[in-house]
Amino acid sequence: MKPPHILLIVGGGIAAYKACELIRLIRKAGMSVRCVLTDGGAQFITPMTLAALSENEVFTTLWDLKNETEMGHIQLSREADLIVVCPATADLLAKMAAGISDSLATTVLLATDTPVLAVPAMNVRMWQHAATQRNVARLRADGVTVVDPDDGAMACGEYGPGRLPEPVAIMQRVEAALHRVSAAPAERGPLAGRRVLVTAGPTHEPIDPVRYIANRSSGRQGFAIAEAAAAMGADVQLVAGPVHLPTPSGVTRIDVETAREMAMAVDAALPADIAIMVAAVADWRTAGAAEQKIKKTGGALPVLELAENPDILAELAKDPRRPALLVGFAAETENVLDHAQAKLARKGCDWIVANDVSGDVMGGSDNAVHIVTADGVESWSNLPKDQVARKLMEKIADAVVR
C-alpha cells in the first residue's frame, strides 16, 4: 500500500520553527512530505532547511516557470492525501475563508479537493478577535479541520490561547485525519457521509465586563452526543458555549459565548443533514451591556433592561436549509411532558428530547429523558450521559438511514 503523502504549507510567524520537527515526525511515521513555504514563513526558516528534512523540493512561488512545468500548482494541490497548514496565521485563515488566491499557498488551497488540516498560531487577541472567529467558523463549515491552539506564553510576552500545539500533538491530528480519509465504508459507520450539527453548553450574556447572565448547563450531554455521532462516521460540527471540556475525537468545534454568536455559528455551519440542538441558550440578554463594571451607588439597585435573544431552534426550523431531521432539547422543572409537547408544536422541529433538571442533571453525569415526537413519547430511565448519547444517535441513525 502506498504510504500517505502530506503537503505541508508553512505560514509566517515564529512558530514556523516547529514545522521542522513536524516534518521529522511525518517522515518517522513512514509518510512522505512536500513543503510550500510562504513569504512570511521564509522570514523564519529557509527552503534549504525544509528540503533537507523532507528530502523533497520546496515550493515558494506561483511564478516559477520551471516548477509550473514540472509540478504545476494544480497537481501539487491534488497529489497529497492531506494538506496541513502549520502554522496557520490570522492572515492565512482570512484568505482561506474568503477564497483569496494571491500566492502559491492560497492558490493551492483554493484549487484542492484534498482534506485540509489548519493549525493556527497567533497572538491571543488576534485569535480571540471576532473576525478571526468568524473566519474559523466559516472554514469549519466548509469542511476544513481547524485545530484549537494551545494556551500558553507567547513570543510577544502575552499569555493565552494562540500558541501552536506541540508537534507530537499536531502529528496525532494528522494521523486522525488520515484515518478518516482512508477508512473503508464498513468502518465509517451508519452515518458516514452525513453532516451533523450539534450545539452544546450554556451561553453567557454580558451585563458588564465582569458579570453575565448564564445557566447551569455543563455541556456534557451535547459533547457526548457529538462524540457518539462522530463514532458513527458523521461529519460533526459542534457549536459550543463557554465550557471547559475537551473536544471529542473526530469533531470540529466552534466556540462561542453569547446566544447571538451561537446563532451566527449555526447559520455558518449549514447545510446539515441532522441538527441536534442541545445547548441551553439564554432567552434574554441585557439590552446594552455596561462598558465598565457597575458599581454600588448608595444602596440603589441597578436596573437591567432585557432584550429577547434569537430563537435558534425556531429560526432553523423555518430556514430553507433546514436539516432533514431537527432535534431540540427541553430542560424543564415541572410538567415536563406537557411543556415538551407544546415546544414541539411551537418550534417546528421533528423531535424534542425533554428532561427534568430540577435536581443536579445540568451539572451531573446522568440523565433521564423523554423523546417526544408526533407519534408519541418514548421514555428512558436514568442513564449515564454517554449512554444516553449513544442510544439517541442509534435512534437517529435508524430514522435517517432506511
Which residues carry a binding-site annotation for CTP? 283, 293, 310-313, 329, 343, 347
Contact status, residue 223 vs residue 200, Cβ threshold 8 Å: yes
How many angstroms separate the Cα of 391 from the Cα of each of 368, 381, 398?
Answer: 12, 12, 11
Amino acid found at 171? M
Asked if omega into 167 is within 30° of 0 (cis), the reply is: no
Characterise 298 by phi-psi region: left (phi > 0), alpha (psi -120 to 50), beta (else).
Answer: left
What cell was used for 54? 523532507
What cell was used for 27? 517522515
Contact status, residue 362 vs residue 218, Cβ threshold 8 Å: yes
**C-alpha–C-alpha distance, residues 189 and 282, integer Å:** 35
- Among residues 20, 35, 86, 156, the one annotated as catalytic is 156
From the list 326, 360, 353, the residue with the least C-alpha distance to 339 is 353
Binding site: residue ranges? 283, 293, 310-313, 329, 343, 347
Which stretch of DSSP H or E encloses residue 289?
none
Contact status, residue 247 vs residue 221, Cβ threshold 8 Å: no
**C-alpha–C-alpha distance, residues 387 and 255, integer Å:** 25
20 is catalytic: no
Q: Annotated catalytic sites, by residue?
A: 156
